[in-house]
A and B are shown apart, each in its own frame.
Chain A
Amino acid sequence: AQTVTQSQPEMSVQEAETVTLSCTYDTSESDYYLFWYKQPPSRQMILVIRQEAYKQQNATENRFSVNFQKAAKSFSLKISDSQLGDAAMYFCAYRVGSTLGRLYFGRGTQLTVWP
């Protein structure tokens, strides 16, 4: 069974500092995709970053980067130079790389950014 675990229900960071959100997943598949989505108070789900399991290089999108450890089944998100607008619920998600496109989500980490 595919499961996604986010062990930090809440995290906080000072503006301009760096924070890392943790995510682990359980799968027997070799071909899959991993995602981080952000859900601000508006509740809109916004894609932050995506990683293909076959790629060894960690994905990066501006201030957002991931640490993908395939053997450990770990997929953490690092936010550098945190901004007030980064405050949101962050969800880690997993999808098998087949024709069935369902996403499996973790329970989320609520990130607070202090000025």
Chain B
Amino acid sequence: NAGVMQNPRHLVRRRGQEARLRCSPMKGHSHVYWYRQLPEEGLKFMVYLQKENIIDESGMPKERFSAEFPKEGPSILRIQQVVRGDSAAYFCASSPGAAADTQYFGPGTRLTVL
């Protein structure tokens, strides 16, 4: 059973460009979570999605950031008009159900904004 897949592993963008980060959950998992890790800090929650639904986006900046988890295909975290402060590692986690389940993490995408 393959783990959580994220791509790309490294992404370089210039200020003002768009960044698209992809996450394929583990097989059988229908819940996806996105976290951001700034240098020297722990992970901070951004958004929680189920298939075709956003359950909790309270950790996501109101502007420039969006997330989706379509019926088919991976979950996408989109950052429009990136700025240097968006440089971070972005982690995706998945779980099969809800409250009692453990979240399993992907390897992360390291975004660098020049």
Contact = CB atoms under 8 A, between A and B. Distances in A.
Interface of A: 4, 33, 35, 37, 42-47, 50, 91, 97-108
Given A45-B91, A47-B102, A99-B98, A106 B107 contact: no
Nearest to A31: B99
- Interface range on chain B (Cβ under 8 Å from partner): 20 to 34
Given A43-B108, A103-B33, A91 B42 contact: yes
B52 interface: no
Contacts of A102: 33, 45, 48, 56, 59
Q: Taking chain A's interface residues, is the majority helix, strand, or loop, or is none over half, making it mixed?
A: loop
| Top 3 A-B pairs, shortest CB-CB distance | A105-B42, A45-B105, A102-B45
A108 B42 contact: yes
B43 A91 contact: yes
B87 interface: no
Nearest to A4: B42
Contact of A99 (B89, B99, B105, B107): B99
A20 to B, nearest CB: 19
A107 B47 CA distance: 19
B65 interface: no
B95 interface: yes
A2 B59 CA distance: 14
A103 B98 contact: no
Interface string B81-114: 0000000010101010011111111011010000
A100 B55 contact: yes
Contacts of A103: 33, 35, 43, 45, 93, 103
A104 B45 contact: yes
Contacts of A47: 102, 104-105
Contacts of B48: 100-102
Contact of A101 (B89, B98, B105): B98
A42 B102 contact: no
A61 to B, nearest CB: 12
Given A44-B108, A101-B98, A101-B101, A107 B41 contact: yes
B22 interface: no
Given A102-B33, A103-B33, A50 B102 contact: yes
